[in-house]
Amino acid sequence: MTTTSYSELLKKGVERRRVSRKGTNGFMLTLTGALTVLALIPLFWIIGYVFYKGGSTLNLAFFTQLPKPVGMTGGGVLHAIEGSLIVTFLATIMAFIPGVLAAFYAARNPNTVLGIGLRFSTDVLSGVPSIVVGLFAYALIVKPQGHYSALAGGVALAILMVPTIIRTTEEMLKLVPTNLREASLALGAPEWKTSISVLLPAAMDGVITGVLLAIARAAGETAPLLFTTLGNERFDLGSIISSGVTNHQSIFQILGRIFGSPIDSLPLTLWKYAGMPYPERVQQAWGVALILLILVLATNILARVWIEIRKRKLRG
Amino acid sequence: MENEIQETQPSVRRTLEIEIQELRDDLLYLGSMVEKQILGAVDSLKQRDLVSSQKIIDTDFEINRNRYAIEEKVMIAIATQQPMAHDLRLLASILEISGELERMGDYAKGIATISLRMKDEPLLKPLIDIPVMAQKGADMLHRALTAFINEDIEVARAIPEEDDVVDSLYAQVYRELTAFIMQDPTTIKRANWLLWVAHNLERVSDRVTNICERTIFSATGEMRETVSKNLG
Amino acid sequence: MEMNMNIEVKQNKDFTVNEMAEIKVRTSQLSVYYGKFRALTDINMEIHDRKITAIIGPSGCGKSTLLRSFNRMNDLTPSAHVEGKIELDGEDIYGKNVDVVDIRRRIGMVFQRPNPFPKSIYDNVAYGPRLYGIRQRNHLDGIVESSLKQSALWDEVKDKLHQSGMSLSGGQQQRLCIARALAVQPEVILMDEPASALDPISTLRIEELMHDLAKSYTIIIVTHNMQQAARVSDFTAMMMIDETRSGRMIEYNTTNIIFTRPQDKRTEDYVTGRFG
């Protein structure tokens, strides 16, 4: 025992470790693999189940027709699809510019009072329950106006989107190398010009991704819309436009009617239909759920494809 | 505070310093060979020992080989270590000095060749001043190389002054030999041989002067010709 | 030192600092502060017109700070302020009536890492001219072409001017950045370790390019690579921090002298690689 040299001990140790390492390695690999599968089960379960339950509902009429009166079979959820698109579109427009501008400010002035305040309030805002945001939009717009509207829904969703946009844009701006900014300034460019024509394009991929993810999140929101858009099974974009055109209304009047009236949306419809005592409607709720799911999935995939395309393009 | 760290730690240029130290040793060794060759060449001439004269010629090949070895080592050190400033001057000087030493070896070889040419012919006159010149030249070479290794500028500046001694010895030999020729023109060949020997020895001490210039350059970066008074 | 007297003997190629005629940039008693910290102390140097001046020294000695004070990039650091003077053609660039934008146009900069804008090669080069209101297509075309030719990139990119600048190799990107700087016709080009992120061949190309550019421009380069400073520059400034960690210039001379027989022991130690 005493004659065993240090190097022999090391060799033995290495051998021992090799055996135990192989064992531990295999065990951990199995464990983590199993847990990964376990974590993925709910996801695929949900997707599979929704497809299974809702798949049969989907047909052309479901996408192109308005709802039939309660109790009747057939009809579609065109009003909800249109409503979701309109409200999300409004929200995106309202959230994008202020969100990106605020992100520029926060990225450039992280240690000023305003910068710290901005970051703090962004964190708080992203934690506010969406129903509270809906209530806020209700008090801000619906109450003074006296009626529910797509606009109010758009504001509520925009408020929900802004924190995501600010945070992702800010992170993306931070990733832009500082010497890119310096290179522009060193050519004599002013700060605002540098931000718009150098920093924003450099961060654009991330910004677009952030916006798409924010859209995906907002498109699935139900609670804030309860107080703001209310829901409107009679909403019919086509007839609003065609009647407006035949009555020689201006574009602003038509837009006013679209944005100013109560409107439906996919999550809202899902929520309402699912609670109804009519089996056809419950069945349709599964269909709506499927559309929502596909929309969210598609947005996510779109975001990823976008990044990939941009990467390829940059590499040339 | 960086300086303190530097004093307590081994130099970060250890590889280069080891290479330079080896080159210094090689140079000293080459110098001592050349020294021996000069003294040996004159001695074998004086003794009329043709065997040892031949040995001197053979040894010169070894000197040349050693010189090329030094040259190659210097090249490698420059290529691989990228020396700057003092290191660079030192290496350039070693290169130059090794060349000077090789030439001095050639002078010794030249003396030995003359000795062989003379075959059994006796010396024109007994050698007195020529061995003194050889002694003086070898001594100057020895001290010049020591000064180079120690970067002793004072010594390096002083040695070229002694070149005058060798020069006056040479002038002395020259006068004597021309006197022989004038007395008896048939001695012209033998006198000429000895004149060449003296000339070679005179060149040896000139080249020692070059070594001293290199020493000053290596130590200070100053590049200037040390001019002997009587030549100027 | 006694040997100073005969230094100029046999120095046919060197010209001593004082006898140079054209001074493009001159700093006098320049100090730069970050808040209370004095990052540079009393820098006095004369940058010669259409020569390459290298600034060397150990990390943190203030090389980059000095370089960035030449085109007032230090202004971007809110706490920074400058004492002393930097004169460009005799005019103090920190003077009251001086337009920073004009200074930055006249003194261009190339950075350590190649940093083309996420735009096409053409738009990268045209960025500067457009800033100054040049919009005419044929005018811009000419500027882009001549800038890319000057930076020795034209032949490699002339058929793909509208591809992204990021699609080029590292060395090409750096030459694109040089073209971008040249497009606004600067007089001085500052280079902050322009080859430190490049492979050896690209590095040598940039160095050759610098030699060509020095015919028309004054170049100031900061480099960690002493061989590079020795290869490319005409003059070399050696900087070091003092006891208060403030950067000082300890020796400024022709590059030949700095790398063969520096006068300051610390320069000697630095260039021979014994410290730094």
How many CA atoms does the CB half-sphere of C228 hold within 13 Å?
Answer: 27
pLDDT of residue C10: 34
What's the rounded mean pLDDT across residues B74-78? 93
Q: What's the domain count of chain C?
A: 1
CATH number, span A59-315: 1.10.3720.10
Neighbours of C11 (CB within 10 A): 14
* Selected residues 35-94 of chain B with any CB under 8 Å from a CB in chain C: 82-89
C169 in A contact zone (CB under 8 Å)? no
> Domain residues for C47?
22-113+187-271
User: Token pair of B103, please?
Assistant: 């030439």
What average pLDDT does the segment C194-220 reach? Answer: 93
Range of weakest confidence among A100-114, A231-245, C11-25, C52-66: C11-25
CB C168 within 8 A of CB C159: no
Among A residues 167-226, those touching chain C with beta carbons less than 8 Å apart: 177, 179-180, 182-190, 193, 197-198, 201-202, 204
Q: What is the pLDDT along chain A (316 residues), one digit of tens a residue?
A: 556 788 888 988 888 888 888 888 899 999 999 999 999 999 999 999 999 998 888 888 888 888 888 877 788 889 999 999 999 999 999 999 999 999 988 888 888 899 899 989 999 998 899 999 999 999 999 999 888 999 999 999 999 999 999 988 888 888 888 889 999 999 999 988 998 889 988 888 888 888 888 898 888 888 899 889 888 888 888 888 888 888 888 888 888 888 888 999 999 999 999 888 888 888 899 999 999 999 888 988 888 888 788 777 666 5
E strand or H helix at A106: helix A78-108
Count of Cβ atoms closer than 10 Å to residue A150 Cβ: 28
Six token digits for residue A92: 């995106």
Cβ C196 vs Cβ B54: under 8 Å: no
Total number of domains in chain B: 1
Task: Give the minimum alpha-carbon distance from C50 to chain B in angstroms, rounded to a whole number.
Answer: 26
Residues in chain C: 276
Specify the range with the lowest mean pLDDT, choosing from A71-80, B51-60, B138-147, C215-224: A71-80
Strands C80-88 and C91-92, by their bridges, are antiparallel
Q: Give yes or no for residue C168 having a pLDDT over 80.
A: yes
Share of chain B above pLDDT 70, in %: 93
Interchain proximity A189–C76, CB inside 8 Å = no
The verdict on residue B5 lying in a domain is no
Examine residue C17 and state whether it is found in any structural domain, yes or no.
no
Residue C161, CA distances (Å) to C110, C114, C123, C130, C156 in order: 21, 18, 8, 17, 10
Contact between B221 and C227 using a beta-carbon 8 Å cutoff: no
Domain that holds residue B127: 13-220
Does B93 reside within a domain? yes
Asked if pLDDT for residue B224 goes beyond 90, the answer is: no
Give the relative orientation of helices C170-182 and C121-131 as an angle to the nearest 10 degrees: 20
C113-140 residue pLDDT tens? 999 998 999 999 999 999 999 999 999 9
**Are the beta carbons of C27 and C3 closer than 8 angstroms?**
no
Dist. CA B75–CA C237, nearest whole Å: 28
Tokens of B44: 């074998």
Q: What are the two backbone dihedrals, phi and then psi, of residue C44, each rounded to the nearest 5 degrees?
A: -120, 115
Task: Look at residue C168 and tell me if it is in a domain.
Answer: no
pLDDT higher than threshold 70 for residue B47: yes
| Structure token pair of residue B86 | 């003092």
Task: Record the tokens describing residue A278, joined without a space.
Answer: 């009519």
CATH number of the domain enclosing B17: 1.20.58.220
Q: Are B85 and C273 a contacting pair at CB < 8 A? A: no
The H-or-E segment that residue A24 falls in is: helix A6-54
Residue in A186, A193, A316 closest to C164 by CB: A316
C119 CB near a chain A CB, below 8 Å? yes
Q: Do C180 and A316 touch (CB under 8 A)?
A: no
CB contact under 8 A, B83 and C272: yes
pLDDT digits 0-9 by tens, B60-75:
999 999 999 999 999 9
- B31 lies in a domain? yes
B222 shares contact with chain C (CB less than 8 Å): yes
What's the pLDDT tens digit per position in C232-263?
999 999 999 999 999 999 999 999 999 998 99
Mean pLDDT for all residues in chain B: 91
| Any domain includes B40 | yes
- Domain-located, residue C263: yes
Residues of C in contact with B12 (CB under 8 A): 273-275
Which pLDDT value is given to residue B11?
A: 72
Q: How is chain C classified by DSSP, letter by letter? A: -GGGGGTTTT-SS---GGG---EEEEEEEEEEEETTEEEEEEEEEEEETT-EEEEE-STTSSHHHHHHHHTTGGGGSTTEEEEEEEEETTEETTSTT--HHHHHHHEEEE-SS----SSBHHHHHHHHHHHTT---HHHHHHHHHHHHHHTT-HHHHTT-TTSBGGGS-HHHHHHHHHHHHHTT--SEEEEESTTTTS-HHHHHHHHHHHHHHTTTSEEEEE-S-HHHHHHH-SEEEEEEE-TTS-EEEEEEEEHHHHHHS-SSHHHHHHHTTS--
d(CA B73, nearest CA chain C) in Å? 18
Answer whether B85 sits within 8 Å of C261, measured CB to CB. yes
Residue A3 pLDDT: 66
pLDDT of residue A239: 86
CATH classification of the domain holding C255: 3.40.50.300
Q: Cα distance from A227 to chain C (closest Cα, Å)? A: 44
How far is the alpha carbon of C141 from chain B, nearest alpha carbon, in Å?
A: 45
C114 vs chain B: nearest CA distance in angstroms? Answer: 27
- Alpha-carbon distance of B87 to C271, in angstroms, equals 10
Cβ of residue B227 closer than 8 Å to a chain C Cβ: no
Q: Is residue B6 part of a domain?
A: no
